[in-house]
A and B are shown apart, each in its own frame.
Chain A
């Protein structure tokens, strides 16, 4: 969308004029991320994480395409090509491998922050439901892609991760075993599975990129949300994306890259699992098998079903795990509150933070041994997770008395500036 006061593209250079007449691509870019896109003036640093997710995607595609030039997708050669050829022999191969592996972690860090931002500030509410739905699709694709990428080095965690995750599908009644054998192309993970995972791990990032374009497109129809949740009213409320937010995103990007570099150069294995430096052994499962850190909360939900209740425990676990993500699709309709931002919703804000703590508890349980104490903790945390979205959010949105909203974004900004000044003078 373009607000009426959005600047219009006026090419000065004859070459740009010539291009713009034939294919208005420069105009399109100008209106999408240039001076032609007016953005609320009060965005805080949590609004950096969309751009950072995009940068993480580009990093993964670039390092991934290069790594694929040196990778052997066969059960006999994969481990050696990653841990031998790429890490020792390929020029700067160690850097590319660590950048790609830690890049996945960075991707999930920024995406989880991006999602939490949306949950707090009600960015999923009308008229931005489509932005949210496409975001959930991207998240599902991202998890599938990351899973298949982790299989490729064909270490112990790769192999047993593939065994367990394709095992989810065998929980489906009647056709489950057939689906699992179809996914693997055999009875256990082997060459056939590794090869198709390589092919799909290459394909899916481009599907993600396509959905990202739809995500941005859908966002630009209503325009960006903002920390007050109050819609833009006039020109005073906005500034052009370029140079104001390109600069602010640039600063966020520098911080992102510093953290990324610290991981790559000083702690490249901190977020990985040491067992993946052992070649896959189909005859022995590591005593303590855990997924990558970014899957732990969902893994905890899977593990929490230890008893049969009409359906077998295994099927419950798988349904709950997929359900915990799929229920996100319904969030815009579960939260009926007309107030978007959590800043003006005193009750919602409390439950929001409890839910964030709950996700960290689930993450802890996902990585911990399945002893009785942890199983019970996981069951309580899983129940709370579902209760938050299915019970608490709908009830709170009806009962809550929100704080008074500012009349406009500008009023909120000026009020904040004023209180800051008095604080300094006092």
Chain B
């Protein structure tokens, strides 16, 4: 039986449309081009379907929060909300600052100094998300009288992650320190988060 290649007319012969058949595989290119073009088209249609599930404009619009610090005494913490997540704002005591600075970086899973986690001149203000970096529970310790765990910072009841006075991970399954969001002091007693 004749194969496709054998069915090709001899070199130099003209095809039915008068075109040269020197390169009998030339038309395969059309097939690749058509299929590729179809794939690109399908991809372009799928993108908005996927992208529609990313945060919408009204969610992104909640992206900054102002916190008034004036009422928070040293040793106290408040829970504010930032992007619908809890935000811990703690006024550290001198003792807690000293404790945090006394920890050698080599003892930490996610090494960071307290100074790196606070703003210059405002070392007593520890502002972190109240979201455990393990699976997202709210650690205890910001509320009055809550269990602050073995390192005197925060303690997550879900899987037992313990954070120190600089909210750095010290024990348990969480992989990293409580996240410090972007923020800046707009005055001595107000910060804008986000």
Contact = CB atoms under 8 A, between A and B. Distances in A.
Give the one of A185, A284, A285, A288 with max B CB within 10 A: A285
A308 B171 CA distance: 12
Contact of B137 (A164, A190, A306): A164
A303 interface: yes
A99 B182 CA distance: 47
B157 A314 contact: no
11 contacts: A163-B135, A181-B54, A182-B54, A186-B83, A192-B59, A282-B84, A282-B85, A285-B138, A288-B157, A303-B159, A312-B175
Report the interface size class on chain A: 20 to 34
Nearest to B157: A287
Given A182-B53, A187-B84, A167 B138 contact: no
A198 interface: no
B169 to A, nearest CB: 11
B79 interface: yes
Given A182-B53, A289-B158, A187 B85 contact: yes
Interface string A140-184: 000000000000000000001001101110100000000001110
Give the one of B56, B85, B135, B159 with max A CB within 10 A: B135
B168 to A, nearest CB: 16
Nearest to B51: A182
Contacts of B131: 188
A156 B138 CA distance: 12
A187 to B, nearest CB: 4
A383 B160 CA distance: 22
A186 B58 CA distance: 10
Interface string B60-102: 0000000000000000000101011110000000000000000
Contacts of B56: 185, 192
Interface of A: 160, 163-164, 166-168, 170, 181-183, 185-188, 190, 192, 196, 282-285, 287-289, 303, 305-306, 308, 312-314, 317, 370
Nearest to A178: B54
B38 interface: no
Report the interface size class on chain B: 20 to 34
B174 interface: yes
Given A163-B136, A164-B135, A283-B79, A314 B55 contact: no
B157 A283 contact: no
B173 A283 contact: no
B172 interface: yes
Chain A contact residues, majority secondary structure: loop
A168 B134 CA distance: 9
A212 B55 CA distance: 34
Interface in B154-172: 156-160, 172
Given A185-B54, A188-B84, A313 B138 contact: no
Interface in B124-139: 130-131, 134-138
Contacts of B175: 308, 312-314
A299 B173 CA distance: 14
B81 A314 contact: no
Contact of B160 (A160, A190, A370): A370
B137 A186 contact: no
Contact of A168 (B109, B135, B172): B135
A313 B174 CA distance: 8
Contact of B173 (A181, A185, A196, A305): A305
A185 B134 contact: no
A283 B146 CA distance: 14
A314 B159 CA distance: 11
A255 B69 CA distance: 63
B137 A289 contact: yes
Contacts of B174: 314
A240 to B, nearest CB: 47
Nearest to B130: A283
Contacts of A285: 137-138, 156-158
B160 A188 contact: no
Contacts of B53: 182-183, 185, 196
A284 B134 contact: no
Contacts of A183: 53
